[in-house]
Amino acid sequence: MIYQANINSQRMLHDFDRVLIWSAILLLSLGLVMVYSASIAIAEAGRNTGGYAAHFLVRHSAYLLVGLLVGLIAFQVPTQAWQKYSFHLFLLGMLLLVLVLIPGIGREVNGSRRWLSLLVVNLQPSEFMKLFMVIYAADYTVRKTAHLDSFRKGFLPMLIAMLVIGLLLLREPDFGAFVVITIIAMAALFLGGVNLKLFVGLISFLVAGLLTLIWVEPYRMQRIVGFMDPWIDPYGKGYQLSHALIAFGRGEWLGVGLGASVEKLFYLPEAHTDFLLAVIAEELGFIGVATVVALFSGLVIRAFVIGRQAAMRERHFAALVAQGIGVWLGVQAFINMGVNMGVLPTKGLTLPLMSFGGSSIVANCVALAVLLRVDWENRQLMRGFAV
């Protein structure tokens, strides 16, 4: 019986992409450890934490458990069902974004209204809107394949949808989520074979729009100025970036040791969320950061390989969903890392699968479950089984 159980477990492993699974497991596990390390001082001094050092560890563990359970449920859903209800999910995301802006329903924190209070936890709709956009954009591209050379029939509906989403997100404001969602939609159209001239024109329009949004908002311009030279005003506009760079400098090759970060001791703002990578750099050094980059690279590459395998079997919706998830996680990770390293202007985006945040962790786990479902269906079809 033990021998048979081992054979069954080996067969089960062959039903999944092991590189993808191990990359996700290692990122989630390292994230849990580093969130605890980065948040101990904040938890001990916080009024809402009762001085309990493991406050954020317990909450993050709970979010991970919920994310894995919801992901397990999402894995049971065939990709055809995701495609069938893609527009309904898109409308649900839009409704949640509207509810966030209604006084008394949406919760405001630090000047931003991005959360819906669910008594025990807060729900951040923009995180789930990223997943819904992946699914909707994939379905839209497949349905509009014959019209992707036409601006009116191929581009205009998606452009209108993006403008509405952008209006809602900028009212919160959540500029970072808008950028990620826009990139997801554009990537789906590009991968779907859109007319190159129209695509370049639309990209130019969107870039001009994003630059205008930065220009008209003083706080966004201040972030650009602080990004260009954080040492001009290290206690003001350049505060976050200057301390992130100090953390990277202190880490050198091997880091100062797990738990030994100084910058997390109330110097580096949002150490357990937006600037978790800076704490990793300080405590685990270049080796730690390189490991994180390698794991994300492996995850994104496998997402595109899974998408290509689906496309070879003429499963075009599944292919675009897999590649869309790869674009989402890869772009958001790239932006977060770029901000931490001073390569990009400061933007409030978490590091996927690692940073503290319930909505982000659950949405990421569901996305990975959908990606694994695409891979599983590919393998079943390769063996001649129906899915």
Flag whether pLDDT at 5 surpasses 50: no
- Residue with tokens 């997402």, as numbered in its chain: 303
- Given this model, what pLDDT does residue 126 score? 95
Q: What is the pLDDT of residues 52-82, one digit of tens each?
A: 999 999 999 999 999 999 999 999 999 999 9
DSSP alpha helix (H) spans, the chain: 2-13, 18-45, 55-75, 79-84, 86-100, 125-143, 156-171, 175-191, 196-216, 218-228, 239-251, 276-312, 316-341, 358-382
Flag whether pLDDT at 4 surpasses 70: no
Please give the average per-residue pLDDT across 367-375, as a whole number: 98
Kindly report the average pLDDT of the chain as a whole number.
89
Flag whether pLDDT at 304 surpasses 70: yes
Which of 71-85, 88-102, 155-169, 363-377 shows the lowest mean pLDDT across its residues?
155-169
- Residue with tokens 């931490």, as numbered in its chain: 340
0.75 cut: is pTM over it? yes
Flag whether pLDDT at 104 surpasses 80: yes
- Given this model, what pLDDT does residue 185 score? 92
Rounded to whole angstroms, the Cα distance separating 355 from 366 reads: 16
Flag whether pLDDT at 300 surpasses 80: yes
Please give the average per-residue pLDDT across 117-142, as a whole number: 93
Rounded to whole angstroms, the Cα distance separating 240 from 264 reads: 12
Which of 59-63, 124-128, 172-176 shows the lowest mean pLDDT across its residues?
172-176
